[in-house]
Amino acid sequence: MKYIWAKISLILLTLGFLSSCNAVKRVEDNQRLLADNTILVNEEEVSENVLYSQLYQEPNSTFLGLPLQLYLYNQAKSNPDSLFMAWLQRKPERKEKLVNLLSEKQVVRLGNIYVNINEWIKEAGEPPTIVRESVAQRSAERLQAWYWNNGWFNAKTSYEIVPKKRKRAEVVYSVSPQKPYFVDSLTTRIASIVADSIYEAHKQNSLIVPGEQYATAYFGAERERLTELFRNNGLFHFEQEYISFEADTINTEHKVNSAVIIQNREATIDGASTRIPFKVHEISRVNIFPDYTFENRNEPITDTVSNEGYHIYSFEKLRYKPGALTNAIFITPGTIYTDAERSLTYNRLNQLRLFRYPNIQYITDPADSTGNALIANIFLTARPKYSLGFEFDISQSNIQKFGIGFGGSLLIRNVFRGAEILEISGRGSIGSSKDAANDEDRFFDITEVGVDVDLTLPRILFPLPTERFIPKYMYPFTTLGVGASTQTNIGLDKQSLTAVMNYRWLPSENLTHLMDLINIQYVKNLNTDNYFNVYRNSFQELNEVATSENVETNPEFFNMREDGSRSLVIPEGANSFLRATRLGEVEDLTQSQRQILNDIRERKNRLTEDNLIFATNFSYILNNKENIYDEDFSRLRVKLESAGHFLAAVSKVANFDKNLDGRHSIFGVNYSQYVKTEIDYIKHWDLGSENVFAIRTFGGIAIPYGNSNSIPFIRSFFAGGPNDNRAWQPYSLGPGSSGGRNEFNEANLKIALSAEYRYNLFGDLNSAFFIDAGNIWNVFDVVEEEASTFTSFKDLEEIAIGSGIGLRYDFNFFVIRFDIGFKTYDPAQPEGKRWFRDYNLSNAVFNVGINYPF
């Protein structure tokens, strides 16, 4: 009953707030609030966003039909400073009391706070959109211009302001497009013979196509195409302003006869302005200054080197191998000038992280009497050889209640004079554990320490030449990395060693290839005796079987509790009981109990064994996002990984013996063998007005074979969390319909789907509705439990669905995200009771994240 009254109270409070809001509070009697815009084309209403985006005025934004930002704006006072002073002086003793309680200075500051709060409300809110005749006229003219630019040269537009009730009005725009014009012919008038020959050689790529409806945008795009074409074919002095178009529509029956007009370039000869034909310019010489600064620009050169036709000049002793510099330069002596080579050079030099502000200048070669030769001077200002970095963070997870992380890095540039980057980084953390076995009276009882060393080379390091397959315009890099870390009081305590040889190259602007030729990871569990303290659910299941009435076993396995019940001793009793059941020393077990014990034994063996992973992987990443502000893009990532094939071949050739488990081991550790693939696709649609619809689809599977019957924990999949299915905590969803009964639920098959509608509330505060779906399953491995395994397409009915709402505050350089996820379809519930079973706040999951989930 109390919940019903709480809901009624919330509804009454909401209605009371809304009733106090007046949308036309700041609308004068002679003004009207814009309620709606309507566009009629040939007397029929249209809804195309491209047309409505031409209008200069839009109605105030709404949420669920309510102009919340306008309501917020109206709550601000128009003269807060005067109001504060009037309030302060309304009672003679009020100011005196406040001054005595605070101080005169603090009272002034109190007034400033009141004024600032009102300013913030105004900024976060949205002022009323007042209908203005002049703005409506300009909108109609802009609509007409849009139709003209898209081929309707005779279009006519008008508008009408339709008054509504309560100081509101609607503006109706009427458009009569008339008959459109089509491109009929395209001719040229190009003054320069050189420019004309280049145009003719590439005219099949023209964006102006006879027979298509006229569009000004096509002519603008053609101007950009031609400018790029000429500047990439040696015309160094060519600029976009030399291109113009002529369109003839007189007596053409709605056809456009177009002409491309290209003038000769402007030049000053003997003090007089004139026009001269374009020439094809050739690079005669490339000079590189690797230690240039503004201060030393007039100093003498002390070191010079020539390498493959390039000339390197250094003000001090040259600190780089000549090939390391020339490999980053795409401007080649003896070739014609191209903008593309200059852009490639800029990009590569910036990627090296060795120089700041690369500057490329071209001058006419004084030794060439024809004026066709250019000298390219490349001025490079070196960054400091050493750089230090520090980081600090505070975290919370399902492993620790509170954690503090810190780290530092040392970056050394040009470490071997070959443009290499050596980075040495260390990290550490301390935290408060949730481990039930940790009963020491210390708050910070867990630690993690790690160190990584990475060496990055600006080339592909391989015994055989790779230039034919990965040319330098693909910006190749090789990274050699090693790392080590150790954990104490985190789970089973681990030590890990890693070694990676990674290649990265970019076949195109939107495509990235990543390849780990060698990816080695060794993980050693230091405290396996702590297993049943960490994985309490497994222990409870084991203890229930051991204490069942039908089970008789060694009483030394147990401790007696105060209530007279028995409990297995951790770890000796629990491990001994598991061992006894495996050896058949415990009789009268039911089939169900045997299955439970097999599952517990398998999971314990898998999570406590040391791992040796020797893998190779390749990632294909296609991303057409132009910049960080682009909200209309797609991203595809495909990853393939194979582990253990090399060690399996070595074991076979060397005829290694198998251990008692029938598996090969290296230095006493069973190596993992599996194949794994992941496919991740993200798509964003920009709906305008800061509205975005985004989707993500993910699928992954890892199949053990040969020397393995399961996937290592660190290479398996999990579900749930702020970047996955937000209605479940991390590791708490699945596998299948098993109900996430273990502390860290993982499996080797995963499907994840998400959709999110994002919109602006006001100011920098955004919101989103989302739906997440997915689950994990075991497949082709040692797990046999029916609820956890994927055996047929019918198991897709176990895909969990979560939905919810979120708030996001944009700080420009990052976004803080708060999402509430509700279990909409829970496969762990009995069939027929899975929909909306726990769809309430008490079972909701509250997620906090940085930036968007996808």
Write the single-letter amino acid at 330: F
Residue with tokens 């990584």: 452
What 4-12 contacts at long range (C-beta under 8 Å, 24+ apart), as own/partner pairs, is none
Between CA 360 and CA 342 the distance in angstroms is 8
| Tokens read off for 679 | 């496919």
Best CA proximity match to 808, nearest among 771, 762, 842: 762
Between CA 169 and CA 386 the distance in angstroms is 65
Helices and strands: H and E segment counts in the chain:
16, 34
Angle at 264 between CA 261 and CA 266, to 5 degrees: 125
Q: Which pLDDT score is estimated for 439?
A: 45
Query: Helix (H, G, I), strand (E, B), or coil: what is residue 407?
Result: strand
| Tokens read off for 498 | 């890693």
Instruction: With beta carbons less than 8 A apart as the criterion, state whether 768 and 806 touch.
Output: yes
| Tokens read off for 301 | 């050169």
Between CA 606 and CA 747 the distance in angstroms is 12
Cβ-based neighbours of 16, under 8 Å, separated by 6 or more: none
**Positions of the chain with pLDDT lower than 70, given as ranges:** 1-21, 395-402, 433-444, 489-490
Q: Strand 282-289 relative to strand 310-314: parallel, antiparallel, unpaired?
A: parallel
For the CA atoms of the chain, what is the radius of gyration?
36
Q: Strand 800-810 relative to strand 815-825: parallel, antiparallel, unpaired?
A: antiparallel
Between CA 376 and CA 289 the distance in angstroms is 11
Write the single-letter amino acid at 413: R
Between CA 382 and CA 379 the distance in angstroms is 10
How many angstroms separate the Cα of 463 from the Cα of each of 279, 409, 470, 494?
44, 31, 14, 35
- In tens, the pLDDT along 777-790 reads 999 998 888 899 99
Beta bridge partners of residue 822, listed in sequence order: 803
The pTM (predicted TM-score) of the whole model is 0.84
Instruction: With beta carbons less than 8 A apart as the criterion, state whether 747 and 775 touch.
Output: no
| Tokens read off for 6 | 């709480």
Between CA 384 and CA 726 the distance in angstroms is 44
Helix axes 536-546, 572-582, angle to 10 degrees: 60
Between CA 80 and CA 111 the distance in angstroms is 9
Angle at 458 between CA 453 and CA 462, to 5 degrees: 85
Widest CA span in the chain: 112
Q: Strand 800-810 relative to strand 611-623: parallel, antiparallel, unpaired?
A: unpaired
Query: Helix (H, G, I), strand (E, B), or coil: what is residue 842?
Result: helix
Residue 321 DSSP code: -
| Tokens read off for 727 | 């209605």
Phi-psi region of 135 (alpha: psi -120 to 50; beta: other; left: phi over 0): alpha
Look at the chain and count its residues: 854
Q: Which pLDDT score is estimated for 391?
A: 87
| Tokens read off for 351 | 């990627």
What 8-14 contacts at long range (C-beta under 8 Å, 24+ apart), as own/partner pairs, is none
Between CA 171 and CA 158 the distance in angstroms is 10
Q: Strand 373-382 relative to strand 282-289: parallel, antiparallel, unpaired?
A: parallel
Between CA 42 and CA 656 the distance in angstroms is 83
Q: In the Cβ-directed half-sphere of 330, how many Cα atoms lie within 13 Å? A: 18
Between CA 169 and CA 37 the distance in angstroms is 9
Between CA 322 and CA 309 the distance in angstroms is 11
| Tokens read off for 324 | 């390391």
Residue with tokens 């039930």: 436
Q: Which pLDDT score is estimated for 764?
A: 83
Cβ-based neighbours of 469, under 8 Å, separated by 6 or more: none
Between CA 781 and CA 716 the distance in angstroms is 12
DSSP string, 247-303: EE-TTSSSEEEEEEEEPPEEEEETTEEEEE-----EEEEEEEETT--STTTTSPP-E
Best CA proximity match to 771, nearest among 708, 819, 712: 819
Beta bridge partners of residue 766, listed in sequence order: 760, 808
Strand runs (DSSP E) across 151-264, as ranges?
156-164, 168-176, 182-190, 243-248, 255-262
- In tens, the pLDDT along 686-724 reads 988 788 999 999 999 999 999 999 999 999 999 999 999
Instruction: With beta carbons less than 8 A apart as the criterion, state whether 832 and 711 touch.
Output: no
How many angstroms separate the Cα of 793 from the Cα of each of 698, 752, 789, 798, 799?
17, 16, 11, 10, 11
Write the single-letter amino acid at 699: G
